Structure 1
């Protein structure tokens, strides 16, 4: 059994643990969805930064909005990535959870415009049509990562990406632990708690000598 770079806590990959349900087969792409013009992007898309000493690494907390001319269902357990579209819109594309491009996993789909069970989720609202101003559902998006992954652009929900840990752009190394384990993250880490299932804590560890 291995330990984290700070020692003492075993690394954990909740998606390969025994007894967990398998995610359903996924389509490889989904249509981008423009934001409704009457709603300001600045009012609906925001990033709350949690400053980490000497690095400025923020906790990934964002609210995205999307409006579907053709509403495409997205189920819990599927993975996707977010994109900036023409005209200031924001869309998503589904991908296999094993793909390097799949930066988010859908942990929950909630009715209407709803808050997710943890503030660390990216909340992405889906609308039913061009004239609709009422969200049909809210996707609760968690980082689709495993222990040992490295990330760049961690505070930008449409630019965040997995990179080689030796890459100069790598900002954080991931450690995933079971349950509520924020205290197991080191003081310089950003801890993200996801209620799941499975419930897990993602520690975003600043790059350094442990990479």
Structure 2
């Protein structure tokens, strides 16, 4: 299941900034203010001096600087927000895409050789990721193959799948290989950085409150947990995951 931040989009989207300000054409007449200047003020670019107080007035300085905002109190909200990112980007439906080049294909597993139900690990970065086959009982086996599609344009089954793309044009639809009681860390990272950890670990950000097979009703399953802040589901195979935060976070 995938989070943060454009569904099906490649990482590193650029941001643009709009230009500010535009000069006016022509010269203002004498006695008229220029754009953005009030009557009686100095022309743009000329130094302005504070107005002298009149007789009997107490000189005043510039208005005081505004007080800085009070920093928010630390709470469990940070962990909850980070976990919600998991519900959106790690368990949110093909948000993070990983493209493996031909060299990595030779070093790792080829998309055509991956069987449904097989577990994999993902190493590398967003630009160059490498999938390796591992036993599903391995603590590092965070991802399980739910579908192997011939085209990257073919949709994964209904649900919150992550996707692993190959340069050959094929892709894997992945589910989280987790069970009830598992905890996850490094949720703000990419697929290679997210990991299972002990729930007493200081880095634990999410606990799997429930991993129920054979159902797709997230609300029906997760609604029974007081600490659940979100959940996700898969249709093939049918499964619901409920997310909470570890005790003491």
Tell me which interval the TM-score lies in, with the shorter structure as reference length: 0.5 to 0.7
Post-superposition Cα deviations, 1:97-119, rounded to whole Å, max 9, x if no partner, equal: 00000110001111111221235
Of 208, 212, 219, the match for 1:177: 212
Out of 132, 137, 146, the position equivalent to 2:179 is 146
Partner of 1:97: 136
Uncovered stretches (5+) of structure 2, i.e. residues with no partner: 1-7, 14-75
Write out aligned runs for 1:41-120 (5 A). 44-45=10-11, 55-56=80-81, 57=83, 58=85, 59=87, 60=90, 61=92, 62-69=96-103, 70=106, 72=110, 73-85=113-125, 88-113=127-152, 114-120=154-160
Note the C-alpha offset of 1:125: 1.0
Residue of structure 1 in register with 2:59 after alignment: none
Name which one, 1 or 2, has greater alpha-carbon Rg. Answer: 2
**Runs (5+) with no aligned partner, structure 1:** 1-41, 129-134
Q: Which structure features the higher share of helix residues? A: 2
- RMSD of the TM alignment (CA)? 2.8
User: Could you say what secondary structure the match of 2:247 adopts?
Assistant: coil
- Looking at structure 1, the residues matched to 200 and 120 of structure 2 have their Cα atoms a distance apart, in angstroms, of 25
TM-score, normalised to structure 2, is 0.56
What residue in structure 2 maps to residue 200 of structure 1? 239
Tell me the number of residue pairs that the alignment of Structure 1 and Structure 2 aligns: 156
Give the match's secondary structure for 1:44: coil
For residues 150-195 of structure 1, the C-alpha deviation after alignment (integer angstroms, 9 at most, x for no partner) is: 1112343111111111111111111201311311214743312111
TM-score relative to the length of structure 1: 0.65
Q: Is the 8 A contact 1:46 1:63 kept in 2?
A: no
